[in-house]
Amino acid sequence: MKKIGLIALVVVLALGIIGVGYAAWTSVLNITGTATAGTFNVVFDGTATPPANSAGGTVNTFSVPTGTQTGTITLTKIYPGYDTGVMTFDLKNSGSIDASAVISIGTITVVSSTGGTAADLTVTVLPLSAQIITAGTTDSTHFSIDVLMKSTVTGSQGSVYTIPITVTASQHP
């Protein structure tokens, strides 16, 4: 029994010595730092006016307020085969890091109709893929939109169409 007590005492002392030795050879290093995240702010830079159509159709409203990420195109007095022509506008990134931006077309609404539907129109946004918009208030990138009323449409004269457009940006890798 004495032998077991002596072994237990030796084990406890050995563990204590290991703990003291470990504590004597370890230390804690604290590092303090500051991280600042960059920003991107991609917005429309100016309002573009679409080209006039020689056949009498007009784009009454192309509202893309400067400094916003949304806009609206309102089409009136259009007819089968009507083409707005290329409407060009700029996007600007006033942030501190480059961004990747795309233009998307929302749900086309027929405001007043004599038989028109959203399917009457073909809307093309160019370029088709995301564009890198570099940081800095003087840099801008050109995008364009072309709206065409299909030539096979019938019964839609007098319809008014509203097309929402939105710029979506993400950090460029």
pLDDT tens for 120-173 read 888 888 888 888 888 886 667 888 888 888 888 876 667 788 888 888 888 767
Q: What is the DSSP letter of 53?
A: P
Let me know how long the chain is: 173
- CA–CA distance, 26 with 23 (Å, rounded to integer): 5
CB atoms inside a 10 Å sphere around CB 140: 19
Distance, in Å, from the CA atom of 114 to the CA atom of 80, rounded to the nearest integer, reads 13
Distances (CA, A) of 130 to 14, 37, 142, 172: 67, 23, 12, 10
Domain boundaries of the chain, sorted by first residue: 42-171
Domain 42-171 bears CATH identifier 3.30.420: no
- Other C-beta atoms closer than 10 Å to the C-beta of 70 total 14
Task: Read off the pTM.
Answer: 0.68
Q: How do residues 17-68 score in pLDDT, each as one tens digit?
A: 776 666 666 677 888 888 888 888 888 887 565 555 545 555 556 677 777 8
User: If DSSP codes are grouped into helix, strand and coil, which group holds residue 168?
Assistant: strand
Region for residue 56 given its phi and psi (left: phi exceeds 0; alpha: psi -120 to 50; beta: otherwise):
left
CA distance 170 to 130: 10
Smallest CA-to-CA distance from 90 within 162, 142, 138, 132 is with: 142
